[in-house]
Amino acid sequence: MEPVLDYRIFGVPERMEWIERNKEILGLPPDRIILDPEHEGCLATARRAWSVPARGTHVVVLSDDVELCVGFTDYSTRIARAHPDEIISLFPIQFSDRRSVSRYPRRSPYVETKSLSGAGIMMKAEYVEPCLAFWREERTGDDTNIQAWAKTQGIQILTTLPAILDHIGLVSVHDPTRTLGGTAFFDRHPGWANWDDPYVTPWTNVV
């Protein structure tokens, strides 16, 4: 089955400039933008984003502070086609700077990862309901909840090098002492990578 991706963006009104920019790129209707005007926090807002009934085979939830590569929807669809059953961390948080990678994957861009990032996550629509039922408040992030659920289900988490999105490094609205920063592996024009080869490189082979 050809994948159909359902994109959502969640975030705070203070970042409407970035939200509107990516909303236009993705062609999203208003019901795919989930805002947190009361600053309830990432977990509550992400839950609302994931809870929107799916209109496709896969759901992609993006935070409000990411930059997308040129052709993002094409590459994300090709990722879903190559790895329909895995959960994809679109931001390679395990590999944020050049020093974290000693050997770049050559055959395909797909790398297994031990870390999932809430900057951008893709998973099958059928996973969403059971995954949300597993979430717990004491796991403070949407990414940590999804990662914990995936582990219980034996579902592999992958990321890509190059990355098709980047975190723009804004200071957290909820915690001004915290910034995530970007990745050195973001590529605005990542067409050189073989996105259609599903081969996965173990993360131990790139560090």
Of 102-106, 139-143, 153-157, the range with the highest mean pLDDT is 153-157
Residue 90 · residue 160 · CB < 8 Å? yes
The confidence score (pLDDT) of residue 174 equals: 44
pLDDT in tens, 79-100: 999 999 999 999 999 998 888 8
Q: Residue 25 has which token pair?
A: 């790129």
> Which domains occur in the chain, in start order?
5-205 (3.90.550)
Portion of the chain with pLDDT greater than 70, in percent: 94
Residue 61 · residue 143 · CB < 8 Å? no
Does residue 172 register a pLDDT over 70?
no
DSSP bridge pairs for 43: none
Asked whether the bond before 162 is cis by omega within 30 degrees of 0, the reply is: yes
**By three-state DSSP, how is residue 185 classified?**
coil
Distance CA 158, CA 156 (A): 6
Does residue 179 register a pLDDT over 90?
no
Q: Residue 72 has which token pair?
A: 């993002």
The confidence score (pLDDT) of residue 140 equals: 81
Where is pLDDT greater, at 148 or 97? 148
The confidence score (pLDDT) of residue 186 equals: 96
DSSP H stretches of helix in the chain = 16-26, 42-51, 72-82, 125-134, 142-153
- φ/ψ region of 152 (left if φ > 0, alpha if ψ in -120 to 50, else beta) reads alpha
Distance CA 163, CA 119 (A): 12
Q: Which of 76, 69, 52 is nearest to 3 (CA)?
A: 76
Q: What is the DSSP letter of 82?
A: H
